[in-house]
Amino acid sequence: MKLRRVLVVAAAAGLAFSGLAGAEETCVTCHRELTPGQVADWEVSKHFENDVTCSSCHGEEHTGKDDVAKAAFPDEHVCAECHEEQFEQFSKGKHNFGWAAMNAMPVTHVEPDELMEGGRGCGGCHNMGIKTEEQKAEQRAKGYRYQNNSCDECHTRHTFSKKEALNPRACQQCHMGYDHPQWEMWSSSKHGARWFARKDGDLPAGAAAPKCQDCHMPGGDHNNHTAWGFLGVRLPLPEDPQWKADQITILKALGVLNPETGEPTARLEAVKAVDLARLTEEAWQTEREKMIRTCSQCHSETYAREQLAMGDAMMQKADRLMAEAIEIVAGLYKDGILKKPESYAFAYPDFLYFMRTSGSDSATGSYIEQVLFQMYMKHRMRTYQAFFHVNPDYAYWYGWAMMTKDLGHIKELAQTLRATHGNGG
C-alpha cells in the first residue's frame, strides 16, 4: 500500500496526523524509558518505515502517567482503516467466530473469568474475532481491558510482521495440544520434517515442503474454512445408513438433537450462528475441492483424492466406536443408574460441558462420562485430524488405539456400575 493512500485513509478516519512529529516524540521519549522493548519492536516494523506511529493506533488522549486509562486500544477496525482487504477476508473466515463459539459453550460460564476474558485458557486462544460493542462492554464490566485485537495473534505486536505470520510457529500457540494437535501432527509429518530440513539448509531452497499457511491461507487469503471443520459433522448427514445413525447419536450428545425425539434443539441455532459446521453439501464440497487443488500442486490429483477420502473413511469408522460408547452411557441414564445433572437439558451425555461432564451437581458415576468425553474430544479428533495432517503415530497410537481402549474402559465401568447399583456401592 502506498503511503499516500494511508494518509488519505487515516485523515478520513479522523486520525490526527497534524503535529505528528511533536506528539510522537513525546510518546516515544517516555516509552523508550518505560517500555523500551515496545519501541524497539515498532522501530523495526513496516509501520515505523511508513510513519504509522504510536498515536495512529492508540490515539493522543493519553499523554502521561496520570491519564493512562485514556490510551485507546485498537480493535480490528483500526487496522481496517489501512488494511481493508485483510479485514474483509478475516471477517468472513472461521477465526472471526472464535470468541462467539467459546461463549456459546455452556461450560464457559461456569469457569473462572481469568480463563476467558482474562486471556489465558480458552480466552487465550479464542481471542479471535471482531467483538461487538456489547461483548466489549461485558469484558470491561468484569474489569478486563486488553484482548481487543485478533490481528496481533499472528502478526504479534509491535512488529506486526508478515514474515512472522508466514512461519507455521505463528499458529502453534493455539493449534496444539489436547483436542487439536495440528502443530504436533504437522511438525512430525513428512511435510513438516521437510520444512524444517529446508530451514536448516539440508534441502535446497526450492524444495517443496507445505506448511499450515500453504494449505489454509493459500494466496494470503485470511478467510479460513475447512470442509469437516473441528467437530467433524456436517449437513446433510452422510448417506450410508449406519454412519448417518452414528452421526445422529453424536449430534444428540452435542445437544443439538433432542435425544428423545431426534428433533433439533435451540442449540442447533447456536451452532449454526457460529458456523460450526458446513450446512450444505455444496459448502462442504467447495472447501474440499479447494484443498484438492492445493495438494495437486505437489501430488497427482488421484493421490490427493485417495488420501482425503481415507480421512473421511476413518471418521466413519471412528464414529461407529463413538456411537457405541455414547449409547452405553445413555443406557445408564435411561435405566436411572446415572442421574441427570441439574444443568443438563436431558438425561443423556452432554459433551458441551467438557470436563465438567456430570460435574459437581451430579450423582456418582461421573467418571464414566469423563472417559466418554475424552474419547470424543481427544481421541476421535486425533484419529481423523491425523489423516488430514499425514501423521502415522497420531492416527494409530494417539487416536484409533486410544478410542478402542476408551470403549473397553467404558464397557467395564458400565458393567461395574450396573452390578453395584442399589448395593450402596
| Footprint of ligand HEC on 177-196 (CB under 6 A) | 177, 180, 182-183, 186, 190-191, 194
Only one residue has cell 494466496, namely 219
Of positions 117, 118, 139, 154, contacts ligand HEC by CB under 6 A: 154
User: Is 131 near ligand HEC (CB under 6 A)?
Assistant: no
Nearest one of 18, 34, 24, 92 to 57, comparing CA atoms: 24
Half-sphere exposure of 292 (CA within 13 A, CB side): 17
- Count CB-CB contacts under 10 A for residue 422: 9
Beta carbon of residue 287, minimum distance to ligand HEC (angstroms, whole number): 6
Beta carbon of residue 247, minimum distance to ligand HEC (angstroms, whole number): 15
- Round to whole Å and give the CA distance between 272 and 91: 16
Which sign, positive or negative, has the C-alpha torsion 407, 326, 174, 84? positive
User: Is 364 near ligand HEC (CB under 6 A)?
Assistant: no
Choice between 283 and 347, CB closer to ligand HEC? 283
Lay out the site mask for ligand HEC across 310-349 (x = CB under 6 A, - = otherwise). ----------------------------------------
Choice between 125 and 402, CB closer to ligand HEC? 125
CA dihedral 221, 224, 225, 229 (to 10 degrees): 150
Choice between 119 and 264, CB closer to ligand HEC? 119
Beta carbon of residue 365, minimum distance to ligand HEC (angstroms, whole number): 22
Beta carbon of residue 259, minimum distance to ligand HEC (angstroms, whole number): 20
Q: Which of residues 11-70 bind ligand HEC (CB under 6 A)?
A: 23, 26-28, 30-31, 34-35, 38-39, 42, 46-47, 50, 52, 54-58, 60, 62-65, 68
In the chain, the amino acid numbered 389 is H
Q: Which of residues 94-123 bind ligand HEC (CB under 6 A)?
A: 94-95, 97-98, 101-102, 105, 107-108, 121-122
- Round to whole Å and give the CA distance between 195 and 210: 7
User: Is 76 near ligand HEC (CB under 6 A)?
Assistant: yes
- Round to whole Å and give the CA distance between 288 and 379: 23
Of positions 117, 126, 349, 372, contacts ligand HEC by CB under 6 A: 126
User: CA 110 from chain center: how many Å?
Assistant: 20
Lay out the site mask for ligand HEC across 388-407 (x = CB under 6 A, - = otherwise). xxx-----------------
- 186: Cβ–Cβ under 8 A, 6 or more apart, which residues? 168, 192, 211, 212, 389, 391
Beta carbon of residue 234, minimum distance to ligand HEC (angstroms, whole number): 9
Answer yes or no: are the C-beta atoms of 103 and 159 closer than 8 Å: no
Quick one: residue 96, left, alpha or beta (phi over 0 = left, psi -120 to 50 = alpha)?
A: alpha
- Round to whole Å and give the CA distance between 89 and 92: 5
Answer yes or no: are the C-beta atoms of 97 and 274 closer than 8 Å: yes
Cis peptide before 236 (omega within 30 of 0): yes
Beta carbon of residue 300, minimum distance to ligand HEC (angstroms, whole number): 10
User: CA 402 from chain center: how many Å?
Assistant: 23
Beta carbon of residue 193, minimum distance to ligand HEC (angstroms, whole number): 9
Q: Which of residues 231-290 bind ligand HEC (CB under 6 A)?
A: 231, 274, 276, 288
Q: The C-alpha cell of 419 is what? A: 452390578
Choice between 1 and 419, CB closer to ligand HEC? 1
Q: Which of residues 134-153 bind ligand HEC (CB under 6 A)?
A: 146-153
User: Is 228 near ligand HEC (CB under 6 A)?
Assistant: yes
Size of the site for ligand HEC (CB under 6 A): 125
Answer yes or no: are the C-beta atoms of 78 and 57 closer than 8 Å: yes
Identify which range of 167-175, 359-367, 399-407, 410-418 contacts ligand HEC by CB under 6 A.
Answer: 167-175
Beta carbon of residue 199, minimum distance to ligand HEC (angstroms, whole number): 14
Of positions 131, 139, 144, 175, contacts ligand HEC by CB under 6 A: 175
Answer yes or no: are the C-beta atoms of 398 and 406 closer than 8 Å: no
